[in-house]
Amino acid sequence: MTPSRPTKPHPPGAEARHGGTNADSPDKIARETLRRLALRKIPPTPDNYREMYFQIRGSADADAFPTRALKAIANGLPRTTPAETRNAQAFDAAIASGKWPELQRVITDLHTSRSDGGKAWGALIRDLSLQCERLHVELTQIGKREALGIAGLSESVGELLDDTRGVQESTLRARQELTELRKLTDKTTHEIARLHSELDVASRLIRHDPLTGALNRRGLDEALVREISRMTRQGGSLCIALIDIDNFKRFNDLYGHNTGDEALCHLTRTLSGALRPQDVVARYGGEEFIILLPDTSPKAANAILARLQRELSHRIFRAPDGERLSITFSAGITRILPGEQAEASIARADEAMYAAKRAGKNRVLVAV
């Protein structure tokens, strides 16, 4: 088996050369330089930018100090006499400083004193001068190319800033539109809530008695339709009770209609507080009230009405002068038969109520 050849490491700048980046225009290299600095989270200082730029381009920084080339020249300087040694050491020190002004000073001194150094120094100084001149030409050409790259970069940055401003303006407009839309939505939501509230109030006024808060005749009719329909679907027993306050006319004559109205409200509060949540209380007219008792047999309904009478007797009602007054009612109960009209059931309960009054009042009778 033939051993595989070891892979040679890529020289500096190989990545950029193989990627073809060095063939790109300076503005493209500049864009890529900014992108890589951002990806690597390197501050875009001039030195960092320059180093990354030449790394991507695949060439050395031409503005950098040519230490290697200068050392090669220094190695060829004569060092036989003390003067030559001093001059060579001065040249070495200038190279080690890495500063162009220091190198220029040493070259000038060498050129001035070359008559003392012989032909070798003169030839080397001419060679160094040619090297520097050639380097100057290269730097000038590279500087022109870099100037073009910087100009392209400036144009690209300008376009980027224009795009950024455009995005900011669009974002600001969208935020303003969203704010206005949110305000409009809030206003609409409040308006809908207000309309719902007014609708609830209107619905209550339509279906409830304004004095007592119990259902009125319209509310009672809707409750009868609902409960009769539920009884038809699910079965069970639905009872209806009609109650009438005893001696209410004499009550009004003795204590006034305002006190009579307070008595009606007192009765409504007592009934509503003692009944089950599914039971329905409605003012049928005057001092008459109807109670719907779903899922209740006539016997159970009779017990419920008797309990309501006891509850009413325990709750104190007083006249405006503070006198304690007794409020009682008589009631008739009947079961709503399947397929029967509600009016027929109410009429049967009404007959039972009047029979209770004739029997002595403050009584509850179940219709046969």
pLDDT tens readout for residues 102-127:
777 877 777 666 544 445 556 666 66
Model confidence at 4, pLDDT cuts 50, 70, 90, reads very low
Residue 357 has phi, psi (to 5 degrees) of: -65, -45
Closest CA to 354 of 235, 201, 241, 244: 244
Mean pLDDT across the chain? 80
Higher pLDDT, 4 or 35: 35
pLDDT tens readout for residues 201-227:
666 668 999 999 999 999 999 999 999
Report helix, strand or coil for 331: strand
Paired strand residues for 241: 291, 333
Model confidence at 2, pLDDT cuts 50, 70, 90, reads very low
Assess whether pLDDT exceeds 50 at residue 283. Answer: yes
Go through 27-60 and write b for each residue having 16 or more CB atoms within 10 A of its CB, e for each that does not: bbbbbbbbeebeeeeeeeeeeebebbbbbbbbee
Higher pLDDT, 21 or 163: 163
Paired strand residues for 289: 243, 283
- The fraction of the chain above a pLDDT of 70, given in percent, is 76
pLDDT tens readout for residues 235-263:
889 999 999 999 999 989 999 999 999 99
Assess whether pLDDT exceeds 50 at residue 18. Answer: no
**32-41, 175-184, 192-201, 280-289: range with highest mean pLDDT:** 280-289
Considering the entire predicted model, what is its pTM?
0.49
Model confidence at 150, pLDDT cuts 50, 70, 90, reads low
Give catalytic status of residue 287 as yes or no.
yes
The two beta strands, 364-366 and 329-335, are parallel
CA distance 225 to 215: 14
Assess whether pLDDT exceeds 90 at residue 16. Answer: no
Amino acid present at 183:
K
CA distance 129 to 137: 12
Model confidence at 267, pLDDT cuts 50, 70, 90, reads very high
Assess whether pLDDT exceeds 70 at residue 294. Answer: yes
Selected catalytic residue, list 102, 155, 287, 343:
287
CA distance 284 to 279: 15
Helical H runs in the chain? 14-19, 26-39, 46-57, 67-75, 82-97, 100-112, 114-207, 217-234, 248-255, 257-274, 298-314, 342-358
How many CB atoms are located within 10 Å of the residue 216 CB?
Answer: 19
Higher pLDDT, 364 or 199: 364
